[in-house]
């Protein structure tokens, strides 16, 4: 017990351990995405507002992950970052454990944390922690799991710690609570009025690293040079998409921050950190039409030079219309994302239960593109009971949709999502953390009766090359400048991507820029000769290329 306890938060990367070093050596197809750790920053701000505390710090393994290449063992990196970042003795350690893919990193880290601070109270929260609380509490290195949103529960926990009192707090699960299922299954109380949240505790983290990271931004025009930060305008989502586990934390009841509070946060980010690119991190941004339009108008009215908004999680088609699109255009937003997920009406209704209006999606994509917006659509393949014929329905739909870009994912069984139970019931997966932690949004490690893991991954990869690179709809529309922006966005992350370069080649040919096209072709030939990833890509997928120019 300590009246003013010192608090240390810990932020961990989301990539599996075996991909981390590859990611920063430029070899991994899954670079670690760095986005503002909003959950920790809101939690810290709320805690400071409502508790008497001592020192507060953040051990941010995510932001300083590039340092990992300086060490031969992960343990050396973990210990070195403790020495570099933590300058006090914590009484309570709060670890954000959001995704199962962090399992291998967490398992190496947690005994090191415990050994370094044996007397500290170690508390773990997040989506993964909420759904795997029993497994975590079986570890001798973990004292408490917080299930659900953290602000109220963690604040009450600190008060009890400071006052040396004990009592049950909804969502706060101690080791001896596991047997009491009535309490163990509770989730923490939620903040009903989100305006009670102070501005995030940005000073806690290395904002310079986050502001200059690629983040979830899409690079169109000068976007890549802008300083980025994430914000939240809503919490919760009432829909019951079978692939989503976000409700584990934020629940299904929608809660809204006032627009004035949102504008206050954006203004503060710009003044304090020079932020000019805002990434909205909502599950359902366009939940209410009037609010969405008013928020966009208020954003425009801030009149901050070069300020830009992106909504990378996607807009919900059924709640979208031309009025909202017009407000988006008026707000100078360049990119819109539509979370379509499947082009099969059967899959929409009976498998994923999202019920996207597919005809409306086509109309809105066409309208957005006619207004100069870049449209990206999300699709997921490999659901339980999704046959190859149903997948082909989606492929045919995508070809008719003519979105500027399509992002393809593999259905991932996240605990807390309905499809997790379906995959488990069918015997495709087991509750084995080594297996589950290797599952990734573009990887599959298990077969189903509909399709093998290898065939599914190959199907999606070829579809990506065909739809986005070889037959990008902007070629047919003659919008070669937009195509160039799209391919350069890919090359900013995947420098070896010869299909992105081939897309540039076709774009310059379309523009009549013969010399630029020849320069790109020369780059492709050099990469195929000198880069193993480029060489492998070319020899494996050259049948998709409409010409043999590269071999000439």
Q: How many CB atoms lie within 10 A of CB 262?
A: 22
Listed in sequence order, the DSSP H helices in 357-414 are 358-370, 388-401
Burial of 417 (0-12, 13-18, 19+ CB in 10 A): buried
Q: Could you tell me which of 136, 129, 131 has the C-alpha nearest to residue 98?
A: 129
Q: Which CATH architecture has domain 216-471?
A: Alpha-Beta Horseshoe (3.80)
Cα-flanking dihedrals φ and ψ of residue 405, to 5°? Answer: -155, 145
**Residue 409: beta bridge partners?**
380
C-alpha span between 282 and 312 (Å, rounded): 9
Give the H/E segment covering residue 337: strand 335-341
Q: Domain segments of the chain: what residues?
A: 7-184, 216-471, 473-552
Q: What is the largest CA-CA distance in the chain?
A: 78
The pLDDT score that the predictor gives to residue 391 is 98
The confidence score (pLDDT) of residue 30 equals 56
With CA atoms as reference, report the closest residue to 304 among 336, 277, 335, 333: 277
φ, ψ at 228 (rounded to 5°): -110, 150
CA distances from 73 to 76, 100, 289 (A): 5, 22, 51
CA gap 295, 297 in Å, rounded: 5
Task: Identify the burial level of 535 via C-beta atoms within 10 angstroms of its C-beta, where 0-12 means exposed, 13-18 middle and 19 or more buried.
Answer: middle
Position 162 scores a pLDDT of: 93
29 contacts 451 by C-beta, under 8 angstroms: no
Residue 124 and residue 146 in contact, taking contact as beta carbons nearer than 8 Å: yes
Cα of 352 vs its chain's centroid, Å: 20
CA gap 432, 351 in Å, rounded: 25
The HSE-up count of residue 302 (CA atoms within 13 Å, CB side) is 29
Q: Give the chain's end-to-end CA distance (angstroms, integer).
A: 75
- Residue 395 token pair: 């492929």
**Which run of H or of E encompasses 56?**
strand 56-60
Whole-number Cα distances in Å, 89 to 82, 142, 201: 11, 17, 20
**Of 65, 76, 67, 75, which is closest to residue 31 (Cα–Cα)?**
65
pLDDT the model gives residue 273: 97
The residues of the chain scoring below 50 in pLDDT are: none
Please write down the HEC assignment for all residues of 443-509: ECCCCCCCCCHHHHHHHHHHHHHHHHHHCCHHHHHCCHHHHHHHHHHHHCCCCCCHHHHHHHHHHHH
Q: What is the pLDDT, as a whole number, of residue 35?
A: 87
The helix or strand, by DSSP H or E, that contains position 308, with its residue range, turns out to be strand 308-310
DSSP helix/strand/coil, 99: coil
What values do phi and psi take at 374, rounded to 5?
-90, 125
- Residue whose structure tokens are 């990434």: 279
Paired residues of 229 in beta bridges: 278
**Helices 358-370 + 388-401 axis angle, to 10:** 30
pLDDT at 179: 87
**Per the confidence metrics, is the pTM higher than 0.85?**
yes
Report how far residue 221's alpha carbon sits from residue 128's, in angstroms, rounded to the nearest whole number: 37
- Which alpha helices (DSSP H) does 51-201 contain, by range? 74-85, 103-116, 127-131, 133-137, 151-163, 181-184
Strand, helix or coil for residue 1 = coil
| Burial degree of 376 (CB within 10 A; 0-12, 13-18, 19+) | buried
């Amino acid at each position: 017990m300590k009246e003013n306890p010192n608090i240390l938060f810990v932020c961990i990367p989301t990539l599996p351990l075996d991909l981390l070093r590859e990611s920063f050596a430029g070899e991994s197809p899954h670079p670690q995405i760095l986005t503002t750790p909003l959950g920790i920053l809101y939690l810290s701000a709320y805690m400071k507002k409502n508790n008497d505390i001592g020192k507060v710090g953040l051990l941010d393994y995510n932001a300083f992950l590039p340092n990992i290449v300086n060490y031969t063992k992960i343990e050396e990196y973990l210990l070195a970052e403790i020495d570099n970042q933590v300058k006090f003795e914590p009484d309570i350690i709060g670890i954000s454990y959001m995704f199962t893919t962090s399992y291998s990193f967490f398992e190496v880290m947690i005994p090191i944390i415990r050994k370094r601070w044996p007397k500290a109270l170690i508390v773990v929260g997040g989506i993964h922690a909420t759904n795997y609380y029993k497994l975590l509490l079986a570890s001798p290195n973990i004292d408490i799991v917080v299930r659900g949103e953290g602000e109220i529960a963690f604040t009450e926990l600190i008060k009890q710690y400071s006052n040396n009192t004990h009592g049950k707090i909804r969502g706060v699960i101690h080791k001896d609570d596991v047997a009491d299922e009535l309490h163990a299954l509770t989730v923490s109380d939620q903040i009903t009025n989100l305006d009670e949240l102070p501005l995030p505790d940005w000073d806690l983290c290395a904002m310079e690293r986050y502001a200059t990271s690629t983040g979830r931004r899409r690079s169109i025009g000068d976007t890549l040079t802008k300083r980025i930060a994430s914000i939240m305008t809503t919490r919760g989502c009432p829909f019951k998409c079978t692939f989503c586990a976000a409700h584990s934390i934020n629940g299904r009841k929608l809660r809204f921050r006032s627009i004035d509070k949102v504008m206050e946060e954006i203004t503060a980010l710009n003044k304090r950190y020079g932020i000019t690119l805002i990434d909205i991190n909502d599950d359902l941004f366009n939940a209410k039409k009037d609010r969405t339009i008013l928020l966009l108008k208020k954003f425009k009215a801030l009149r901050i030079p070069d300020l830009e908004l992106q909504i990378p999680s996607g807009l919900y088609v059924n709640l979208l219309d031309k009025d909202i699109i017009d407000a988006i255009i008026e707000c100078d937003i360049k990119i819109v994302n539509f979370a379509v997920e499947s082009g099969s009406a059967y899959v929409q209704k009976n498998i994923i239960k999202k019920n996207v209006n597919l005809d409306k999606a086509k109309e809105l994509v066409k309208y957005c593109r006619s207004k100069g917006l870049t449209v990206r659509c999300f699709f997921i393949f490999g659901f339980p009971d999704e046959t190859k014929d149903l997948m082909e329905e989606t492929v045919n739909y995508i070809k008719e949709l003519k979105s500027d870009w399509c992002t393809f994912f593999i259905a991932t069984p996240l605990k807390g999502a309905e499809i997790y139970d379906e995959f488990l019931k069918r015997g495709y997966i087991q509750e084995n953390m080594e297996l589950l932690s290797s599952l990734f949004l573009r990887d599959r490690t298990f077969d189903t009766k509909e399709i093998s893991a290898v065939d599914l991954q190959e199907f999606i990869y070829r579809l990506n090359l065909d739809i986005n690179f070889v037959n990008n709809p902007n070629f047919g529309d003659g919008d070669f400048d937009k195509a160039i922006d799209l391919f350069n966005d890919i090359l900013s992350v995947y420098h070896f991507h010869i299909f992105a370069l081939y897309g540039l080649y076709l774009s310059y040919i379309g523009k009549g820029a013969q010399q630029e096209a020849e320069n790109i072709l020369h780059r492709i030939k050099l990469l195929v000769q000198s880069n193993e990833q480029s060489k492998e890509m070319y020899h494996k997928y050259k049948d998709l290329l409409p010409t043999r120019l590269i071999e000439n």
